[in-house]
Amino acid sequence: MAKKQFKAESKRLLDLMVNSIYTHKEIFLREIISNASDACDKLSYKALTDDSVGMTRKDFHIDLSVSPDERTITVRDNGIGMDKEDLENNLGVIASSGSFKFKQEVGDDAKNTDVIGQFGVGFYSAFMVADKITVTTKKFGSDTAYQWQSSGVDGYTITECDKDSVGTDIVMHLKPDTDDENYGEYLQEWKLQDLIRRYSDYIRFPIRMEVTKSRKKEGSPDDKPEYESYREVETLNSMVPIWQRRKSSVKKEEYDKFYRDKFSDYTDPQSVIAVSAEGTVTYKALLFIPGATPFDFYSKDYEKGLQLYSNGVLIMDKCADLVPEYYRFIRGVVDSPDLSLNISRELLQHDRQLKVIAANIEKKIKAELVKMMKDDRPGYETFWKNFGRQLKYGVVGEYGAHKDALQDLLLFYSSTEKKLVSLDEYVSRMKEDQKTIYYAAGENVSVIDKLPQIEGLKDDGVEILYFTEEVDEFAAQIMHSYKDKEFRSALDGKSEEKSDEQKDADKPADESKAVFDFVKEALGDGVKEVKASDKLKSHPVCLSAGEGLSFEMEKYLNAVQPEHPVKADRILELNTAHPAFAALSKAVADDTATAKKYATLLYDQALLIAGLPLDDPSGYTDLVCELLMK
Ligand code: ADP
């Protein structure tokens, strides 16, 4: 009997499959099972309007069996079946499901296996593991059954055959094992059970297989039990995915277990967000905020994304496009009947439905976080500890494009409340005459709390946000303001809270100016300006940076990009009311050599307070000792 040739495109795809070097060959089973499930769907749908079918949904099933001796796996369904024409059209040519743009993606490069990897290509994928496939099928309403057979690229045959019942049997004869590939693995019960659970757990018809089990021999004594093995048909898939169930019918423990099993986490999730959407796009989503930071979260190994299903069939393990970067900690699943199983990665990126889903999901996550912040503050603080930094990076990322979406979710430590507060809480407490949101950046809360520059504001009862993470100041700079209140460093620049008269009073007297000029001269170009401080109270000196780059930013940038060093302006502020200033003034008038030493000493102290390195640490020590011995 003459062999029929595959259509040109199909032949290339087949070539690709037969010679596949793709490592996830196991997806073939998912593809074959999905087809069987579709066939059951079609006939059960028909049964709704056609009494002659004589079946209801619960009569359908998919049966899996293996024959180790013959090296075959059989997948049998009692779905709609195929007639001769169907076989020609469906298995003779590449799947006509328009979404698969084979030519574009595979091109002439038979090694471009990504296409198979992510999406499978239906029936043909079985040729990754099988060297011969026999399809025996009888279509509903037809008297004749047919057998389609192919050993791959050289074509296929279709013959009439006997088959009593409606439906399709697919027998895959596995390729011989090689040094690299153990195809025989697929003949093992546990392997098939594992594959079904992984890829096809939510197929809505039972996938059954006879498996070997063990039980206590009847009559064997309890204290010395004897065991025997027996065979029993078992349903391998759980059929109803947890996300298809109504949230009110699922216990917290069930969600927790599902999360831990699915995402291999030891910690229960902190929040579960169940979404059921109908409208432009129909989908269900189950999202989790993890209860702990994954160990690799801030490394490049961490991959964001949600599991994507089409009607219970897994199409992608980590669909990155479904969650924005700043919510990359979210784990979960999305299931939409509107998505095609064979959609390719590139198309997925431009998929309109996927975009709609992603936008909805983002809103749901935000709403959940806002709610948690309001109703469960300790819970939100735990979340913040785990993932807050990511949100702040989200504010800074993409030139601040997402700051409006995220600013309400931020928390910072407050000098007056002694705990984490939101920007909204800060602003709503601001005194009427306070114009700006004050922050102070430094190593940690206790270091910042001791900074001499903020003593004045603290004494006046002004709330200051303590910025302890490198990203904080960048975030404030990008946000610029919150509810029309500008962010302002309490350490750098001028204090806004002073009245104009006070500012006039701050103007240096002539004799002070002479001291500043002297100190500036003595310290040289390293210092941009020497001036009277409007911030200091009980301390003699501090260093401030001008507008823009702060010392904390300088430290951070130099740590991450040492090849492009940056330097913030160093402005030395002196407390003219301090006795040290009087001593300096006197020395400037009487003994310039000593005055130079004082200037250096004060500058070095200011550097130390700012957490900046001294230009000459041993010189500083010598100076201190010299004064000690005076
Ligand atoms: P897809 O499922 O994406 O259309 P496939 O290559 O997997 O692509 O299958 C091609 C077609 O073959 C299916 O659309 C279906 O019409 C038919 N088919 C495959 N398996 C079966 C089956 N078990 N029962 C009935 N029809 C089937």
What average pLDDT score do residues 577-581 get? 93
CA atoms within 13 A on the CB side of 172: 27
pLDDT of 130: 95
Tell me: pLDDT of 117 over 80: no
CA distances, 19 to each of 13, 110, 113, 355 (Å) = 10, 8, 10, 35
Spatial CA neighbour of 322 closest among 369, 285, 269: 285
Beta bridge partners of 436: 486
d(CA 281, CA 550): 48
pLDDT band of residue 113 (cuts 50, 70, 90) is: very low
Domain spanning 8-235 has what CATH number? 3.30.565.10
d(CA 252, CA 40): 33
Contact 502, 582 (CB under 8 A): no
Q: For the chain, give the percent of residues with pLDDT over 90.
A: 62
Crossing angle for the helix pair 189-199 and 27-49, to the nearest 10 degrees: 60
What average pLDDT score do residues 246-256 get? 90
Atom in ligand 1 nearest the alpha carbon of residue 124: 6
pLDDT of 508: 61
417-472 pLDDT, tens digit per residue, is: 999 999 999 999 999 889 999 999 999 999 999 999 999 899 999 999 999 999 99
Question: Ligand 1 pocket check: which of 16, 31, 38 to mutate, most ligand atoms within 8 Å of Cβ?
Answer: 38
pLDDT band of residue 351 (cuts 50, 70, 90) is: confident
Amino acid at 375: D
What average pLDDT score do residues 405-409 get? 96
d(CA 405, CA 82): 52
Domain spanning 500-628 has what CATH number? 1.20.120.790
40 lines ligand 1 (CB under 6 A): no
Tell me: pLDDT of 114 over 70: no
Q: What is the DSSP letter of 452?
A: G
Question: Ligand 1 pocket check: which of 123, 166, 343 to mutate, most ligand atoms within 8 Å of Cβ?
Answer: 123
Q: Which two structure tokens, joined as six digits, stand for 449?
A: 């709390």
Tell me: pLDDT of 111 over 80: no
d(CA 531, CA 519): 10
What average pLDDT score do residues 335-346 get? 69
Tell me: pLDDT of 256 over 70: yes
CA dihedral 579→507→551→407, nearest 10 degrees, is 120
pLDDT band of residue 104 (cuts 50, 70, 90) is: very low
What average pLDDT score do residues 353-375 get? 95
pLDDT of 72: 98
pLDDT band of residue 125 (cuts 50, 70, 90) is: confident
d(CA 401, CA 397): 7
What average pLDDT score do residues 97-109 get? 40
Q: Which residue has the tokens 């697929």?
A: 186
Map out the domains of the chain as residue ranges. Answer: 8-235, 242-379, 410-489, 500-628
Tell me: pLDDT of 8 over 90: no
| Model pTM score | 0.69
**Exposed, middle or buried: residue 207 (CB in 10 Å: 0-12, 13-18, 19+)?**
buried
Neighbour tally for 295: CB within 10 Å: 9
User: What's the distance, CA 367 to chain centroid?
Assistant: 18
123 lines ligand 1 (CB under 6 A): yes
Tell me: pLDDT of 527 over 70: yes
Crossing angle for the helix pair 592-609 and 617-628, to the nearest 10 degrees: 120
- For the ranges 103-107, 149-153, 178-182, the lowest mean pLDDT is seen at 103-107
pLDDT of 268: 95
**Closest residue CA from atom 15 of ligand 1:** 90
What average pLDDT score do residues 119-137 get? 86
CA of 87 to the centre of ligand 1 (A): 9
Neighbour tally for 320: CB within 10 Å: 16
Q: For the chain, give the percent of residues with pLDDT over 70.
A: 90
pLDDT of 115: 45
Tell me: pLDDT of 98 over 90: no
Neighbour tally for 111: CB within 10 Å: 11
Tell me: pLDDT of 16 over 80: no
**Exposed, middle or buried: residue 108 (CB in 10 Å: 0-12, 13-18, 19+)?**
exposed
Tell me: pLDDT of 595 over 80: yes
pLDDT of 155: 84
Mean pLDDT rounded to a whole number for the chain: 88
**Closest residue CA from atom 19 of ligand 1:** 35
75 lines ligand 1 (CB under 6 A): no
Tell me: pLDDT of 108 over 50: no
Architecture of domain 242-379: 2-Layer Sandwich (3.30)
What average pLDDT score do residues 556-560 get? 88
Beta bridge partners of 169: 76, 136
CA distances, 526 to each of 114, 489, 529, 554, 581 (Å) = 56, 22, 9, 15, 21
Atom in ligand 1 nearest the alpha carbon of residue 36: 23
What average pLDDT score do residues 95-124 get? 46
Range list of H helices, 438-486? 445-449, 455-459, 470-479
For the 410-489 domain, the top CATH level (class) is alpha beta
Tell me: pLDDT of 290 over 90: yes
Contact 285, 243 (CB under 8 A): yes
pLDDT of 342: 58
Q: Which residue has the tokens 């029936």?
A: 123
Neighbour tally for 193: CB within 10 Å: 17
In sign, the C-alpha dihedral spanning 557, 558, 562, 566 is positive
What average pLDDT score do residues 491-495 get? 73
CA of 9 to the centre of ligand 1 (A): 17
pLDDT of 621: 94
CA of 192 to the centre of ligand 1 (A): 21
